[in-house]
Chains A and B, each alone.
Chain A
Amino acid sequence: MRTILVLLSVSGIPRVLIGQRWERQVQERVQRTIAAVGPSPRLPVVRRSGMLNTDEAASFQTTLAQHTPYAIIAVCDDDCSRLQLTLLSPSGSDIAKERNSESLPTLHFTAATTGVYGIRVVMEGCRWNPCWYAIAVVPLRKTPS
């Protein structure tokens, strides 16, 4: 049952798209990106979305499982030119920061221990405020070693 739910969540099954054009834009974009990175069928994909004005930041916490590789991706709407993505340790210090990929920053991380990690997104460039963004924490299939 859980597997079916995960598959439904990441597959291209049409959903009732509500909200503004820009919200739909980032939801479709993050959906495509999740499908492209190849999520693990065993664990759920965590998604967050919202709006930010230029130079504003938002953060949330999520639990990452031990020895599971994750792709943390962020997308934003067409008016956004630069988005910064940071992964924070359970103690609050920066683990990784991605600010070079403009509007599609991606982080790859495998947690040594299971814990609650922080994810922070900063809207560094938005030409028409507010800009929509979406973040997905995607557990990846473990590569055979």
Chain B
Amino acid sequence: MASVKRWVAVGLTACFVLALAYLPPRGAESSGKSPFVGQPLWGTPARQHAQALADGWRKVDATLRLLEDRQRVRRDSLRAGPTIVFHGATLPPNSVHNVETMIDSVWRDLGLGETKVRVTLVIELQRPYSSDTPTPLQDQVAYLAPDSTHRTTCLAYLPAGTYWTLVILGKRDARHEGFGRFEHWLQAGLGPCAFYAAYGTPGRPVESWLAARHWDVGLYLGSHGIAGERFSSLDLLGDPRSPWYWDGVYSFPPATVACLAGRPRGCRAAVLTGAAEERTIPIPNVVLVERRWWRVQHLLPGERYLGDIARTVGRDRFLSFWTSGQPVDTALALALKRPVGEWTADWERGFVRPIRLGPTPPLGGVAIALTIAVFAIVVVAGTASRRQIR
């Protein structure tokens, strides 16, 4: 009888180990290919190479444009708000005035007045397509941060695209819900420059940390959502009941997913990504925001993380973190007066109910597996009991 019990124990343990190893995680679907996709979506190697070259050219082109603009821009010393420069078309004076009024209002909403680091917003209006020259960077936002040669200027390069170009030119009203409001677009466009304006140049550890992660936690200083009243990068994951929601979740690094599950250790790791190594800040210090920045975040909705910290802890404590010479985790924990992971997990719960992680066997699969397991155990037990010597 003792032998039977041992066999049963071994069988159950083996089942458990196999389940642990092979059951799919929650929400995962089979990776069956669609019969409608005839060729790979990522293109041939030659095409990928051409796209990488074009991407490199666009980045260099954008950097040169930023440097040229920084040299050329003449500041209006009477204006506290950002200076605005338009590229791509000559605007009627009333359009320029409208945009300036709007950005001044955005500036005041952010609680900014005269700032040590001043912001210049270069708005690139959509140009007509030309086959003679490569298309310049028209859909990627870029920032030229202050450096030792220009300590008090932060330049934001904001491609307007077709929709906002028509709005700026007065040919279309910004009423379409899907695009949000014009002032939201301008406020989001300030990006890291809003942080430079509000809190000055960060200390070396913080600047290095932000550079390592492409400023994904400091893209938006406002208190609304980045593209509307409550819209954040979390909304781009879609409905949690849809299959692509889980595809989206599992496309992020493990620490990001763990933080979505409300685990403080995961949140800490997600926040401190890039904080371990001290990088040399290049000159010129160009921050190129990824086209689909919401897909490469280490924290969701990371774009407002530092803005929310600043609002929570107050200006003085945030400044002490921002300019600190201590490692990021120490400086941040001091400013928050709590461990980083715990504070961030609570912050995360304010946006999303913690997702449940771990394996989830499908119901049919469980029934079949249990039937097979019970059958196997019965067979083994029967065989073992017949072979016992009494």
Contacts and interface: CB of A to CB of B under 8 A. Distances in A.
A22 B113 CA distance: 13
Contacts of A56: 148
A103 to B, nearest CB: 16
Contact of A128 (B148, B199, B204, B325): B199
A49 interface: no
A128 B319 CA distance: 7
B203 A54 contact: yes
Interface in A6-23: 18-22
Interface in B307-326: 319-320, 323, 325
A130 to B, nearest CB: 5
B200 A129 contact: yes
A51 B323 contact: no
B320 A128 contact: no
Contacts of A51: 151-152
A53 interface: yes
A59 B77 CA distance: 28
Interface in B288-341: 319-320, 323, 325
B114 interface: yes
B203 A130 contact: no
Given A128-B200, A129-B201, A130-B200, A20 B152 contact: yes
B152 A54 contact: no
Nearest to A18: B77
Given A20-B152, A127-B320, A130-B201, A54 B325 contact: yes
Nearest to B200: A129
A130 B323 contact: no
B116 A20 contact: yes
A130 B152 contact: yes
Chain A facing B: main interface SS:
loop
B203 A128 contact: no
B114 A21 contact: yes
A84 to B, nearest CB: 15
Contacts of A20: 114, 116, 152
B202 interface: yes
A114 B165 CA distance: 64
Contacts of B199: 128
Contact of B323 (A18, A22, A128): A128
Interface string B75-107: 001000000000000000000000000000000
Contacts of B202: 129
Interface in B241-289: none
A53 B201 contact: yes
Residue among A19, A53, A56, A126 facing the most chain B CB atoms (10 A cut-off): A53
B319 A127 contact: yes
B116 A55 contact: no
Interface in A47-85: 51, 53-56, 79
A135 B200 CA distance: 23
A20 B114 CA distance: 8
B222 to A, nearest CB: 20
A126 B201 CA distance: 10
A54 B151 CA distance: 12
A90 B319 CA distance: 39
Contacts of B146: 130
A38 B151 CA distance: 34
A19 B201 CA distance: 19
A129 B204 CA distance: 11
Contacts of B323: 54, 126-129
A55 B200 contact: no
B169 to A, nearest CB: 34
Nearest to A55: B325
22 contacts: A19-B77, A20-B114, A20-B116, A21-B114, A22-B116, A51-B151, A53-B151, A54-B203, A54-B325, A55-B204, A127-B319, A127-B320, A127-B323, A128-B199, A128-B200, A128-B319, A128-B323, A129-B116, A129-B202, A130-B116, A130-B117, A130-B201
Given A128-B319, A130-B146, 19 more contacts: A20-B114, A20-B116, A22-B116, A51-B151, A53-B201, A54-B203, A55-B204, A127-B319, A127-B320, A128-B116, A128-B323, A129-B200, A129-B201, A129-B323, A130-B117, A130-B151, A130-B152, A130-B200, A130-B201
Top 8 closest pairs, chain A to chain B, by CB: A129-B200, A129-B201, A128-B200, A130-B151, A51-B151, A53-B201, A127-B319, A54-B323
